Structure 1
């Protein structure tokens, strides 16, 4: 299970990049945090953002929910950088779903965003539209599995969001398998994926997740003690606090029997660990992952 998740590409929502096509399942508790993080990240990057809300959602309510995480969105809505709509309107004037029709509309929206000098297009699609339009689930799944050409130019990203109270577990599992990426439950989460000789930590390592962080690292050191080599993969970690970074170095200091602890991370996190003294631990090797 862990190996499959590592292969597929589990990501925190803030780490999605142009060219990514991601699945997420949500509950009412996590729903708006996911939407807001995705939308605000895209706006900050100069991308056009389309929020395809569920049929019963009120546009003003969606905007209010997004504004709980930032300033007023009136200006970006007025200039068309943020569009809050629904699948029925997105497909207009032909409101019937077909994979070809949706592909055509997305291509048109990508071209329009680039023509207006946006950095790209990102869409968040709440999949409750399937019942509203009477679409066939198998046809939707076929669309998900064949959507790769939309992402090839790396100017488009898409999140397909499934309400766990609406879709059957078997449908959720099938849709999950049809996407190259899947998202953590929401911002602030941390997931540890263990494999032979390695641990991948995904999400955010801070005060709220520090117990999970240290527990996962201790487990990884214990698992790898017999051969003395461990890879700590932080390439999908969105945030690393000073406290959690110190925990990693402290545990590495105690793991003196390890011949090599390889930490894969971006430049910012490498700078943090170096500042905390990682260079004094000769068995700790930082490998920057661009």
Structure 2
């Protein structure tokens, strides 16, 4: 749980500004990119002007919370003050979602790291909306926050703009001017717009006045954005036509070039996959022959061979066997790439039962204790899921410490998907290598320490990707590891 208050964060060694980088849009994008709630894609900054002002245009509660929760959680973890401006009935829903996302809301509210304010306390504090007054409010809030915290992080709901008496022209002017206020400050904001409630003409202006947009599970550079200096100019219609025509031409050209590149890459990838499969398959027989003849040589001429010669034969046979194991795993990896993934409702408890039955010998030999929580039905390919969890359970047993391993398998429901985790108390992994372990043939240990080919976790990532999910590990050396994978909920469970 994220339960740090401001003082606790400093004592716990939360990164300094120099280590973390100045608060800005990049951190907001990183929060969404690395979050299990938000499933991307997230467009990188590139050469785009990184104004610290995001807007999420949502059509459901799940879409809204998938962006807001990781955005606020990152601010709490970085030691920032988080300000959330709520409508009358949304605070309890938000708190529940934040707690599901690992935030100890009571603790951060008590510490002051998280503050809720109403629309009446902020946008309408003078009785009607006044852009100058609201900009002054935010300027004061930035000054107060940066005096004690690493920065100010804001998220605000906006359906109040539909209330009678609010000038929409003033509000859009304010939205443009906010970009100038936040420029150069340790401040970032995420505004929320409900597309089912706010009229389309207002959404159009929202698009024009926000440099970066979150919509339908994607973070986009907004090429429709119009800087304030242009938005309010008398000749803005002519300039908007130039912008729109230029954008259409540029994006059409880029799309054609991208599609040509994708076609070439897909053809190349298909050829490589076919080559890997055929080469791996054709290598099996020569390897079997090498191994068999070496064993015949050792058996038929054993009395004529000295100890060194017998060792050499053992080394050669062992090498051939390891090569055959690598080829078998590579063939399995190629089948995942070239085969069809058929998604249907799969009972994960049945999958784990099969995996544990297949690993019964290893479980008994290691003295492993395996606890399984209530597991869901997901939309998946049963064979692939059995391969995935067979690798995770097998690794949890293999990379154990001196004591019999204790392994837990559990699941947590998220917005629209399930997160399944396999936790162990084994040797753990240096965080420096947590990304590398999912690459093909990348091993952190020698063959004499732990046997293996280095393909298992790469296979797990490929299976997770085939299911539209992700896989990652939380670990520390000597403290064990937790591998988590996200899988889609079964359709019939909705």
* Structure-1-length-normalised TM-score: 0.60
SS at match of 1:167: coil
Conserved in 2, the CA contact under 8 Å of 1:12 and 1:184?
A: no
Conserved in 2, the CA contact under 8 Å of 1:39 and 1:49?
A: yes
SS at match of 1:147: helix
Structure 1 runs not aligned, ≥5 long: 1-8, 200-217, 226-245, 251-267, 278-290
1:199-251 deviation line (CA, Å, top 9, x unaligned): 5xxxxxxxxxxxxxxxxxx87422789xxxxxxxxxxxxxxxxxxxx99xx9x
Conserved in 2, the CA contact under 8 Å of 1:23 and 1:160?
A: yes
Distance 1:80 1:133, change over 3 A: farther
Structure 2 runs not aligned, ≥5 long: 1-25, 34-41, 222-250, 267-332, 338-431, 442-494
> Match for 2:82 among 49, 56, 75?
49
Q: Name the structure 1 match of 2:122.
A: 90
SS at match of 1:134: coil
Is 1:30 equivalent to 2:60 in the alignment?
A: no
Q: Name the structure 2 match of 1:222.
A: 263
Distance apart, 1:170 and its partner CA? 2.1
Distance 1:185 1:46, change over 3 A: farther
Q: Post-superposition, which runs of at least 4 consecutive aligned residues in structure 1 deviate over 3 A?
A: 9-13, 15-19, 58-61, 189-194, 196-199, 271-277
Instruction: Give distance in 2, aligned partners of 1:37 and 1:133.
Output: 33
CA RMSD, 1 decimal: 4.0
Q: Name the structure 2 match of 1:260.
A: none
Conserved in 1, the CA contact under 8 Å of 2:123 and 2:130?
A: no
Listed as ranges, the matches of 1:1-290 within 5 Å are: 14=32, 20-28=52-60, 29-54=62-87, 56-91=88-123, 93-116=125-148, 118-132=149-163, 134-186=165-217, 195=254, 220-222=261-263, 272=436
SS at match of 1:67: helix
Q: Please identify which structure carries the higher strand content.
A: 1
1:129-171 deviation line (CA, Å, top 9, x unaligned): 2124731111111111122222222311111111011111221
Distance apart, 1:127 and its partner CA? 0.8
Instruction: Give distance in 1, aligned partners of 2:220 and 2:132.
Output: 36
Distance 1:108 1:100, change over 3 A: same
Conserved in 2, the CA contact under 8 Å of 1:35 and 1:124?
A: yes
Distance 1:72 1:12, change over 3 A: closer
Instruction: Give distance in 2, aligned partners of 1:135 and 1:12.
Output: 34
* Structure-2-length-normalised TM-score: 0.37
Conserved in 1, the CA contact under 8 Å of 2:153 and 2:187?
A: yes
